[in-house]
Amino acid sequence: MFLYILGLVAVWFVYRWYRETKRVSNKEDKYVYITGCDSGFGNLLARHLDKLGFRVIAGCYTGKGEDELKKVSSDKLTTIHLDVTDSESVSKVAAFIKTLVGQKGLWAVVNNAGISVPSGPNDWLTIEDFKPMIAVNLLGVIDVTLSVLPLIKKAKGRVINIASVCGRISPFGGPYCVSKYGVESFNDSLRINMAPFGVKVLCIEPGFFKTNVTDTALLKNNLMKLWERLPQEVKDDYGLARMHYIVDGDLMKVVGCMEHAISALYPRTRYSPGWDAKFLWLPMSYMPSWLSDTYLIKSKPRPKISVL
């Protein structure tokens, strides 16, 4: 009986592998709009899709990001300034895309733009620390998506949202996990809303990878700035502790999932690139809260006056 079940599982995996190798046709006619292309996943994805023949519209926050991306891309790739926190900027880009794609519509939008600081214990932060990140990581995703959704529906295309394992479990405080939980919720509700229109809504949930978002120096500087402004009584509670981050340097694990979500005939609903995502964070998200809490508490430096 066990061997029979094992055989069925093996057949299912082979079938899924074969099914997922099939790709959409006419890539040269398909436009893909990517946010956050100055660096990291967005930059790599824009260059990768350009080489595959897609018509890439790369949203960059800085002029430097646009210039550097143009230097390493073909003439088919279009760069454009985009600030996802500015609805006027988002609307202008959407109007440009509508003119560019015409009756074909927009094949895919990839909501990749994101920031990671300030992050730290919640009692180190103020409400003002939460607002900018939520504006980029969550409200920016919603604004960009809604601005081009009619074009996506016209093409029966795809919405790809870059969430995080931090949208499934909260290993640290601050607005990052809050914003990613919001992306997960928006993604799930939109997927159900868009299904009758033939639009696929897909979610990428990476583990921790080495990008500007997880830059060790940036995160440490962020913690030191938060520490320096704390009242002395809070400092006394915590004591100065060192923070350690373990990240994966192979960004193509994530870019490969993003490309599959865009080009596969039968994409997955969710992708979880990174061994830490597959074997630590996602399994932990299904565990009882007392068990995951115990692990997270034990794995962090304890405050000076901890009662645990």
Q: Which CATH number fits domain 26-298: 3.40.50.720, 3.40.50.2300, 1.10.10.10, 3.20.20.70?
A: 3.40.50.720
pTM of the predicted structure, to 2 decimals: 0.91
- Token reading at 249: 């340097």
Confirm if 278 and 126 have CB atoms less than 8 A apart. Answer: no
How far apart are alpha carbons 144 and 106 in whole angstroms?
Answer: 13
For residue 273, whether the previous peptide bond is cis, meaning omega lies within 30 degrees of 0, is no
- Token reading at 69: 């991306």
User: Which residues are tagged catalytic?
Assistant: 176
Domain boundaries defined on the chain: 26-298
Q: At what angle do helices 40-52 and 252-263 cross, to 10 degrees?
A: 50
Rounded to 5 degrees, what are φ and ψ at 66? -60, -50
Q: What is the pLDDT of residue 249?
A: 73
Q: Helix or strand or coil: residue 81?
A: strand
Q: Round the average pLDDT of the chain to a whole number and report it.
A: 92
Report the DSSP beta bridge partners of residue 264.
23
The string of pLDDT tens digits covering residues 296-308 is 998 887 887 788 7
Q: What is the pLDDT of residue 242?
A: 60
Residue type, 260: H
Residue type, 148: V
Percent of the chain whose pLDDT exceeds 70: 96
The string of pLDDT tens digits covering residues 199-253 is 999 999 999 887 766 666 777 788 889 889 989 998 888 876 565 556 677 889 9
